[in-house]
Amino acid sequence: MLSNQEFIRISLETNLFFQRIMKGHSFFIEISLTPVETALIAEAEALKEGFEQLLAETVHYANRAVSESVINSNELVTPYTLRAEEVNSMLTGARLNTEITKAEYELVGLSSFPDNYFRESSERIVRDLNQRSINLTERVINFQKRVLALATECKIFINMYEEILDHITDEAEYYLEMLKALQNKELPKRTLCEELNFWNYVMGGHAAFIDGLLDPSERNLKKTAKTFEEGFDKLIKECTRTNENQIKRESLQLTEGVRNFKRSATEGILNCRIKSIIPPLLADHVLREANHYLRLLRMMNG
């Protein structure tokens, strides 16, 4: 069972990362739907704004209460996040609350103030924040499944692969499982391969999506993305047959490679040097996920 301090810290760290991921997913659906789908666009926007409200609260409570390693990992925000938000809002007309991002750049880690945060009221505040995050994540899962079903049945047109809709629902369900375990002051009970395979699947999926969204003329970038996709697929297939230390080490090496690839791609897309239909904020989004996985892998590898 987690101590009160561990419960508060891990809950805040989990919410800081995933609330931004969830709001990003809703934003991408919002800008990918066609103008005729006014009701679905409004629902996506409402979910996005719901996660923005939660994230703003989480950022407030997280200051001086989360690990410096999380803040420094660039999984919460990267040097590109604010500009990517501004560019995407300008190009699409869809609103994003950039004040939250600015506040996240100013977050201070726990080690600077080791005893200042954990007051008696903190556990109750964080437990309530977790529960509201559970409620909103359940709503977003239902919404994404509904959008996927409509797209699969050709009842709507959306500028988003059905595989991406399925992918983001998997991530939401992972987050929901984490929140429910935390409410019991526990962490989800996953084997090493279950944890690695989930994130290796996510990384491989990102590589496949990047390949599919790059302009056909970007042959070298598409080839690199395909190589990463095949590498993560191989890790998933070999996990149960490979020594634990070896599979952790190989996952770390490949994730460092794809992180560097995503970072270069984000810079190239923001500076209009890469031909693609990848929104700048999506490039930053998948970069943050790679940074998150890298931190987890480094913890596993000691």
pLDDT tens-digit map of 178-227: 999 999 999 999 999 999 999 999 999 999 999 999 999 999 999 999 99
Q: How many CB atoms lie within 10 A of CB 207?
A: 25
pLDDT of 248 strictly over 60: yes
**Domains of the chain, with CATH numbers?**
1-189 (1.20.1260.120), 190-302 (1.20.1260.120)
Q: What is the DSSP letter of 157?
A: -
Q: Which residues contact 226 (CB under 8 A, 6 or more apart)?
A: 207, 211
Classify burial at 3, counting beta carbons within 10 Å of its beta carbon; exposed 0-12, middle 13-18, buried 19 or more. Answer: exposed
pLDDT digits (tens, 9 = 90+) for 112-126: 555 555 555 689 999
Residue 85 β-bridge partners = none
Q: How many CB atoms lie within 10 A of CB 72?
A: 12
pLDDT digits (tens, 9 = 90+) for 124-150: 999 999 999 999 999 999 999 999 999
Q: What is the pTM of this model?
A: 0.95
